[in-house]
Structure 1
Amino acid sequence: MTNADTHEDIIYPSAIPFVLVHLACFAAIWSGVTWQAVALGIALYWLRIFAIGAGYHRYFSHRSYSTSRVFQFILAVLAQSTAQKSVLWWAAKHRHHHLHSDTPEDVHSPRHKGFFYSHVGWIFARRHDTTDLVKVEDFARYPELMWLHRFELVPAVGLAVLCFLLAGWPGLFIGFFCSTVAVYHATFCINSLAHVRGRKRYVTGDDSRNNWLLAIFTMGEGWHNNHHAYQSSVRQGFRWWEIDPTFYILKSLSFLGVVWNLKSPPAEVLRNERRLGARVINRAAEQLAASFNSERIALAVAAALHSAELSAIRDQLIDAGHRAAEILPSLPQVPSREALLAEARAMFARTPSLDEIVDRAHNLLLTSIGQRLASSVPARA
């Protein structure tokens, strides 16, 4: 990808409606503030935060429970009233995010794209405008959801009109626009802030974190590291003290038969005793190896050895019959496995797969150092 490709990313005209929604909140200065409008705004904030968490996220993205076609549609309409694009677009992007979380392919990673882009900028990126319906083919088969996908703003416009009819101009500007902006940024903070600030109970191969403050404002979505550790769980607050109102409501609805088949994390996950999958181990190993500067280590090795010794090591490294893991560990400048283990214990939460992560990271680091040495040292005559 060229620099030109990366810098044509944001479609600025498409951001204009988003900016106007924010500016509309200031119209309350003209319309005035009524208690009816404030109550409406507060109610709509919590109702739609629930719809985002229970609908867009836990149901449409992760299938963490089952429900009827009617309630499925109600959830989709409520969630789409937030003007966060269609249910199919949202779920497809979120499923892609979990496949590539905090890698260069992630659609909104603070690690690779910066905080502002992960918070809001990515939404206006040209390459993210389309919807990969293959990723959500389980829901794209429903005509009513495809209708919502084609006419994604109908629920939001309908709700705005209803707010005006119920509480006049204050109802529109405070009840609808202010609550919509609040829902925007509470939701977006999970993509941005929950990958930057908080605690990591589980090794997930990404930067997801548990953030208690976000959990309050998002009805449980802030337990983000828990979620990345077991994505299909309907409950994201794994401990009794981790408040998760979205789960409590869904549990109550299950008693009424509105939802069912609520998925829970296995006991070994809750106890942090489950062995990690190969993908998570590889990602964690890459993070651990990257914490050591292989270029600086290679330069230290080169500076410590005589030219003849260096040439001999180079010849060994380029020999197909030798591997860096067999040649480099004996050099004092190269970090030992024990050094990587100590760093891993400082970087990661407790996991039974720590040794596998360290072994993989040690091999990655030795390979990187070996490649730098082999390419930078002149061959022996």
Structure 2
Amino acid sequence: MTQDSDSKLEQSTDGPVTSDIVYPSAIPFVIVHLACFAAIWTGVTVEALAIGVGLYWLRIFAIGAGYHRYFSHRAYETSRVFQFILAAVSQTTAQKSVLWWAANHRDHHLHSDTELDVHSPRHFGFVYSHLGWIFARRHETTNFARVADLAQYPELMWLHRYELAPPFALALACFAAAGWPGLIVGFFWSTVAVYHATFSINSIAHVAGRRRYVTGDDSRNNWLLAVFTMGEGWHNNHHAFQSSARQGFRWWEYDPTFYLLKLLERLGVVWKLKRPTVEVVQNQHRLGTRVIRRAALQVAESFNAERIAAAVAAALGNSGLVDLRARLSQAQPFAAIEVFGELNLPHVPSKAEMVRRARSLLANSPSLEDIAAKAHELLLEAIGTRLATLAAQSAN
């Protein structure tokens, strides 16, 4: 393929990603889940249930409006005081620090659904993308270069150093308010529920749902997830315009996180909420080079380059294969298109076939022709590389 940074997509990681799990660090996570069963002995009170339900929705809002839309994507502006409040409430979810969360999420968008993604179901499996990645050794530390804009605040660095202080404080408050049921049902039940609602965006929202936009990854819109996550389920929308404070682009797309942000905007607590452009909402925007290439790679990989190369080699015979190898070796990069075009080989997909495949695999986009052209280029390059290998083998 090409020599640019996206060539990393073809590189394999050092061994199975799942073997990188740091099991001791997963023990507290397991304990939190097991603690939920203590309700068998503590009982479930109405007061504890009310606390649990209230904390679930409060912290789901904090994750969406805080960790995600503000700290990861800077989708709006706010004061330093409210910034700290958002960070502290977000960290009561026990999903590590605001700096760690934002750094990893920014990495996710930079490499979404490639082998460099921190949590891609396509490459690492559903369970790893849902929760396994959190305990991987390579994700233990925080990439401060990725969140330099946040690391400049001493109070956020304090929260980073003492990341468990907010959840411990909340757990004590729940115990003080409603005793053991308040701790077990109010705190632990709601914490586990927030865990898996949040994690579902990383896993389910990349395998189940509809894709309105071409984003170069597997992000999908899932209305059911949007209900449980206060609007985070419109994930394909989000990947199409990442800096938007609004993720439900259509009027009927339920996004209560955005509604509450609008209320806070009216109250002067937050301001400059970013919204998607009209072109994006209407799916009339031109795609960037990176998205075009990733989408093109997806289309190109839907063809079996090795099988096509074998069919071409069989049709050419040894002498024809050697001649083709010589012509390809003399051609400039990406000139394989011209060489194959001159030979008019029936086994090689045409540009028209590539357009049809792109239309069948991807959402509609004004850049679909560009994607198909790039996919054709990538496929022919892969076929040419394989044919060169076959020619060398036949010569020996």
- Tell me the TM-score normalised to structure 1 length: 0.97
Query: Which residues in structure 2 correspond to 1:169-184 (within 5 Å)?
Result: 169-184=180-195
Q: 1:380: Cα distance to partner?
A: 6.4
Q: Aligned in 2, Cα 1:2/1:120: closer, same or farther, shift over 3 Å?
A: closer
Q: What is the aligned residue count?
A: 381
Q: Which amino acid aligns with 1:234?
A: A
Give the whole-Å Cα distance in 2 for the aligned partners of 1:2 and 1:321.
Answer: 31
Q: Equivalent residue for 2:9?
A: none
Kept in 1, the 8 Å contact 2:13–2:115? The answer is: no
Is residue 351 from structure 1 mapped to residue 365 from structure 2 by the alignment? Answer: yes
Contact 2:246 2:258 in 1 (8 A): yes
SS of 1:198 mapped into structure 2 = coil
What does residue 313 of structure 2 align with? Answer: 302
The one of 326, 337, 356 aligned to 1:325: 337
Letter in 2 for 1:357: I
Change (3 A) 1:243 1:2: closer
Equivalent in the alignment of 2:350: 336
Equivalent residue letter for 2:390: S
Whether the 8 Å contact between 2:17 and 2:124 is mirrored in structure 1 is: no
Identify unmatched segments of 5+ residues in structure 2.
1-11
TM-align CA RMSD? 1.4
In structure 1, the partner of 2:175 is 164
Cα distance in 2 for residues equivalent to 1:342 and 1:165: 63
Among residues 88, 99, 107, which one is paired with 1:88 in the alignment?
99
Check the 8 A contact 1:9/1:127 in 2, yes or no: yes
Distance change in 2, residues 1:263/1:291 (3 Å): same
Q: Which amino acid aligns with 2:83?
A: Q
1-side partners of 2:114 and 2:217: how far apart?
8
Question: What SS does the corresponding residue of 2:20 show, helix, strand or coil?
Answer: coil
Give how far 1:333 is off: 0.6
1:362 equivalent among 376, 380, 385 = 376
8 Å Cα contact 1:67-1:259 kept in structure 2 = yes
Q: Deviations over 1:349-379 (max 9, x none)?
A: 1111111101111011011101100111147
204-213 or 3-12: which moved more?
A: 3-12
**1-side partners of 2:230 and 2:331: how far apart?**
56
User: Matches of 1:164 and 1:263 in 2, distance apart?
Assistant: 39
Give the direction of change, closer, same or farther, for the CA distance of 1:361–1:34 in structure 2 (3 Å limit): same
Contact 2:18 2:128 in 1 (8 A): no
Aligned counterparts of 1:75 and 1:36: Cα–Cα separation in 2: 25
Distance 1:61 1:128 in 2: 16
Identical residues among aligned pairs (%): 67
Pick the aligned partner of 2:67 from 56, 63, 75.
56
Cα offset for 1:119? 0.3
1:251-273 per-residue CA deviation (whole Å, 9 max, x = no partner) reads 01111001100001111111110
What's the TM-score once normalised by structure 2's chain length?
0.94
- Residues 5, 215 of structure 1: alpha-carbon distance in 2 compared, 3 angstrom cutoff: closer
Change (3 A) 1:7 1:43: closer
The aligned residue for residue 264 of structure 1 is: 275
Amino acid paired to 1:324: A
Q: Return the letter of the residue paired with 2:54.
A: A
Give matches, 1:179-328, under 5 Å: 179-320=190-331, 323-328=335-340
The structure-2 alpha-carbon separation of the partners of 1:155 and 1:321, relative to structure 1 and needing over 3 Å to count, comes to closer
User: Hey, what's the Cα distance between the residues in 2 that align with 1:147 and 1:321?
Assistant: 55
Deviations 1:12-33 (A, max 9, x none): 0110000000000000000001
Structure 1 gaps of 5+ residues are: none
Question: What amino acid sits opposite 2:244 in the alignment?
Answer: S
The whole-number CA distance in structure 2 between the counterparts of 1:174 and 1:355 is: 54
| Structure 2: distance between partners of 1:6 and 1:75 | 32
Per-residue deviation, residues 130-153 of structure 1 (Å, max 9, x unmatched): 001111111111111100000000
CA distance in 2, matches of 1:216, 1:169: 30
Deviation >6 Å, runs of 4+: none
Are the counterparts in 2 of residues 312 and 380 from structure 1 also a CA contact under 8 Å?
no
